[in-house]
Amino acid sequence: MRKLTVFLVLMVLLVISCLTMAADEIYIPVISKGFQHQFWQAVRTGAEQAAEDYGVRITYEGPASETEVAKQIDMLQTVLDKAPDALVFAALDSKAAIPLLEQADDAGIPIIAFDSGVDSDIPLATAATDNYAAAGKAADRMAELIGYQGKIALIVQDQTSHTGVQRRDGFIDRIEEKYSEIEIVDVQYGGGDHLKSTDLAKAIMQAHPDLDGFFGANEGSAVGVINAATELNKAGDIIIIGFDSGNLQLNAIRSGLMAGAVTQNPVGIGYRAVEAAVKAIRGEELPEVIDTGFYWYDKNSIDSSVVKPLLYE
CATH number at residue 206: 3.40.50.2300
- pLDDT-derived band at 309 (thresholds 50, 70, 90) equals confident
- In terms of phi and psi (left: phi > 0; alpha: psi -120 to 50; beta: otherwise), the region of 70 is alpha
Position 304 scores a pLDDT of 92
Beta bridge partners of residue 58, listed in sequence order: 28
Position 199 scores a pLDDT of 98
Position 10 scores a pLDDT of 54
Residue 245 inside a domain? The answer is yes
Specify whether the CB–CB gap between 32 and 60 falls below 8 A.
yes
Tally the residues of the chain: 313
State the chain's mean pLDDT as an integer.
Answer: 91
Contacts of residue 175, defined as CB under 8 A and 6 or more positions apart, other chains included, come to 139, 142, 143, 152, 182, 184
Give the Cβ contact number of residue 134 at 10 Å. 23
Query: How many domains would you assign to the chain?
Result: 2
What is the domain extent for residue 196?
Answer: 129-261
Position 18 scores a pLDDT of 46
Q: What is the pTM of this model?
A: 0.76
Convert the pLDDT of each residue in 35-78 to its tens digit: 767 788 889 999 999 999 999 999 999 998 888 999 999 999 99
Contacts of residue 225, defined as CB under 8 A and 6 or more positions apart, other chains included, come to 155, 197, 198, 201, 214, 215, 216, 240, 242
Packing angle of the helix pair 98-106, 69-80 (nearest 10 deg): 10
Convert the pLDDT of each residue in 216-270 to its tens digit: 999 999 999 999 999 999 989 999 999 998 899 999 999 999 999 999 898 999 9
Residue 223 inside a domain? The answer is yes
Please determine, for residue 14, whether its predicted confidence score (pLDDT) is greater than 70. no
Give per-residue burial for 3-12: e unless 16+ CB within 10 Å, then b: eeeeeeeeee
127-141, 162-176, 271-285, 299-313: segment of lowest average pLDDT: 299-313
**45 with 79, same domain?**
yes
Give the Cβ contact number of residue 140 at 10 Å. 16
**115 with 221, same domain?**
no
**187 with 283, same domain?**
no
- Rounded to 10 degrees, the C-alpha dihedral 81/98/271/243 comes to 130
Specify whether the CB–CB gap between 114 and 31 falls below 8 A.
no
Please determine, for residue 21, whether its predicted confidence score (pLDDT) is greater than 60. no
Position 64 scores a pLDDT of 87
Residue 21 inside a domain? The answer is no
**253 with 268, same domain?**
no
* Over residues 277-303, mean pLDDT: 96
DSSP 183: E
**78 with 221, same domain?**
no
Position 6 scores a pLDDT of 54
**180 with 120, same domain?**
no
Please determine, for residue 17, whether its predicted confidence score (pLDDT) is greater than 60. no
Give per-residue burial for 178-203: e unless 16+ CB within 10 Å, then b: ebeebebebbbbbbbbbebbbebbbe
Contacts of residue 115, defined as CB under 8 A and 6 or more positions apart, other chains included, come to 32, 33, 43, 90, 127, 128, 129, 163, 269
Residue 13 inside a domain? The answer is no
Residue 2 inside a domain? The answer is no
**142 with 75, same domain?**
no
141-145, 182-186, 192-196, 279-283: segment of lowest average pLDDT: 192-196
Residue 313 inside a domain? The answer is no
Which of 175, 169, 168, 170 shows the shortest CA–CA distance to 142? Answer: 175
Position 87 scores a pLDDT of 98
**234 with 275, same domain?**
no
* Over residues 15-41, mean pLDDT: 74
Position 136 scores a pLDDT of 97
**173 with 210, same domain?**
yes
Specify whether the CB–CB gap between 277 and 28 falls below 8 A.
yes
Packing angle of the helix pair 219-231, 247-255 (nearest 10 deg): 50
Residue 52 inside a domain? The answer is yes
Identify the sign of the CA torsion 187, 152, 295, 258. Answer: positive
Residue 269 inside a domain? The answer is yes
**179 with 101, same domain?**
no
Strand order in the sheet with 125-128: 57-61, 27-31, 87-89, 111-114, 125-128, 289-291
